[in-house]
Chain A
Amino acid sequence: MTVSTMFLRGLTFGVAAAGLIAVAPAQAKVEGNTIVLGSAISFTGKYSTNGIHAKNGYNLGVKRINEMGGVKVGGKAYKLKIIYYDDESTPLRTAQLAERLIKQDGVKYFLGPYSSATTKALAPITEKYKIPMVEAEGASRSLFNKGYKYIFAVLSTSEQYLASSIALAAEIAKKNGKDPSSVKVAMAFENDPFSLDVRAGVLDDMKKFGMKAVIDDKLPRDLSDMAATLTKVKALRPDLLVISGHSKGAATAARQIAEMKIKVPMIAMTHCEAAKIVQKFGASTNDYLCPTQWAETLSYKGAAFGTAGEYDKLFKKTFKGYKNVPYQSAQATAAVLVWKDAFERANSFDTEKVRVALTKTNMKTFYGNIKFSKGGNNIAKPMVLRQIQNGEFNVVAPSEWASHKVNWPRK
């Protein structure tokens, strides 16, 4: 133990402290004429495909609002800006990054992360710090029954994702003179909070019709093979196969369903658009049913982007490589619109006033109507079910939105 070693130790801690201070200078929630929004979202890791879709959506929303003159509060126009961090698709980072955004960057207004898992980790923190968060990518029902007051979700909750496909299967069974309870369902869901909640919703709906699950597999995280599950599908010949596993699950499933020539009259899966399965696997994906939060063909219309179709065009022009705009991007843009609307109605930057304004949101956008329940989820917008018909996504259910007839059975 000597002076020099001690000096070095002292130095280490000095460096530690200095390093921590240097990490990020504190900023104000509104700097000059810029309103700062914060988001910790997935740029790397298992959710990153959709994390990037969502980021594109956020950025387009900010770009459009700034182009249109920004957000007007107190007679002054403000620009929007987003501070991003990478949560690496793990809730482990979320809590750390949330504190960084709140404490060090001084962010007072949050945009949500991608996935229910990370949103679940974030919600208790924003709640405690009384920081309102408008989120677009966390659909799990458990987010909205905890009495949280600072979370607002523009999307429909996850139990609705595949509910209409179950109803459709029952309808078709009835039309063919069969009892809906005779429908056999095969389920393959990724083992993560979002997909498990979708599964719980499907189970509830199946119970309603008395349907039976013949397969109930949970797909692992690093899924690169579904052959075992699909072999079971072959043997048990279910009437409906439902799959949910974010983009990775959708792509893997689409690939192997084609390769193993799985013949099921009805296949429904989430994240078809985000996984770009039509581009990748072409005609083999025909007649898949894909639930979507939003479709460019729907007759929604709002101030910032015009109609859903116009948003679709603008998005494809801004970001290259999209054949279909994933709803993950559209709803992210919608979340930015909700912020603008709330700031302007609150006419203030006080988080409490903005929160109250958020609870009273009632707006029409290109993404659909947005109105929040007491729990914070959007109750003014339905999920629709689209079918891939000759490479195009056509809305087939529910009937009030349907533009095409459902193809059944799938060839």
Chain B
Amino acid sequence: MLDNIYLLIQAPLLNVQILLDGLFVGSIFALAAYGLALVWGVMNVKNLAQGDFVIMGGYTAWLLSTWGIHPIFGLPIAMVLMFGFGWVVYVVIIRRVIDKDMFTSLLATFGLALVIQQLLNLAFGPEVQVAESHFAINSFFDGLVTVANIKFISLLLAAGLAAMVVGFMKFSRMGQAIRATAQDARAAKVMGIDTDRIYAFTFSLNAAICGAAGALISMIWVIQPFFGIGHSIRSFVVVTAAGLGNLPGVIIAGLSLGGAELYSGFVFGAELQQFSVVALLVIVLAVRQVQQRRHRQAVK
């Protein structure tokens, strides 16, 4: 462990590589987490199938790439398909659990996650898949730092998508209606907003965002039917740390999670890389609880 830290000090360029890798993947974590924050904040649904939505998007992009469609063009297709899928899931499942207690949505979406990952496994097999972009890979500093072009592009795409979603929420009628529903569903209803449609749209929008995140993941990382749970947990870590309705917080938390994961993998060894994600979650919760305890309140 100490010699790894020593290595970082000796070859500071390594920090550039780690930070860049963390940034690239963190931006995708942030994207998926933003979707979670949306459904959590607007409709109080904790979607444990978030990561499986991501993986579904990834498989869509991968499948299209095997048919000769470049994954970057697969991304919008994945978004559209996932939007439709999200609508179906809302109508079949989420609508019925939305007004039940909060644990219900957690369990229902866990069941959904099981179904999705197993069906993906049955359809595509358990092999690790990659949607190849065939873009060039750049080397800097005598090969000590390498960045694939696709990673830059995915970062730009993630940022662009996030900006579009934020713009949509701010300026469109639908976005305003969603925000109104989030603030007070009853009042929104009184004002003539069809909250059921709003919820359906919000959930589908989240699925579409996940689809995009998945397409990006399939290009810069690898996908596999059972990797969903890891992405779900990452989304929960980010949202828990940032809090709901805090977009800058989600972005910062997402990017720092990406960085933290890679740094801990480097310093403590890869065996503790996943540990670091869940450990961060526990630490975040513990810290928030201590803060609340000062006001004699619980973390709700």
Contact = CB atoms under 8 A, between A and B. Distances in A.
Interface residues of B, number: 40
B273 A232 contact: no
A227 B265 contact: yes
A280 interface: yes
Nearest to A228: B265
B127 interface: yes
Interface stretch (B193-201, B218-226, B286-294): B218-226
A226 interface: yes
Nearest to A251: B128
Nearest to B227: A224
A392 interface: no
B262 to A, nearest CB: 5
B269 A218 contact: yes
A85 B24 CA distance: 42
A226 B270 contact: yes
Interface string A260-292: 110100000000000110001100000000000
Contacts of A147: none
Contacts of A360: none
B256 to A, nearest CB: 16
B224 A228 contact: no
A248 B226 CA distance: 11
Contacts of A216: 269
B118 A224 contact: no
A222 B229 contact: yes
A48 interface: yes
A255 B17 CA distance: 17
B115 interface: no
Interface in B224-265: 224, 226-227, 229-230, 261-265
B68 interface: no
Interface string A209-245: 0000000111111111111110110111000000000
Given A224-B227, A227-B262, A248-B224, A188 B270 contact: yes
24 contacts: A44-B121, A48-B126, A191-B271, A220-B270, A222-B229, A224-B221, A224-B222, A224-B227, A225-B25, A225-B221, A226-B270, A228-B18, A228-B270, A229-B270, A231-B18, A232-B4, A236-B7, A251-B128, A255-B130, A258-B137, A259-B137, A275-B128, A276-B127, A280-B130
Interface of A: 44-46, 48-49, 52, 188, 191, 216-229, 231-232, 234-236, 247-248, 251-252, 255, 258-261, 263, 275-276, 280-281
Interface of B: 4, 7, 11, 14, 17-18, 21, 25, 118, 121, 125-128, 130, 137, 139, 143-144, 146, 148, 221-224, 226-227, 229-230, 261-266, 269-271, 273-274
Given A234-B14, A251-B130, 18 more contacts: A48-B125, A52-B126, A216-B269, A219-B270, A224-B221, A224-B223, A224-B224, A225-B265, A226-B270, A228-B18, A229-B265, A229-B270, A234-B144, A235-B144, A252-B128, A255-B128, A261-B137, A261-B146
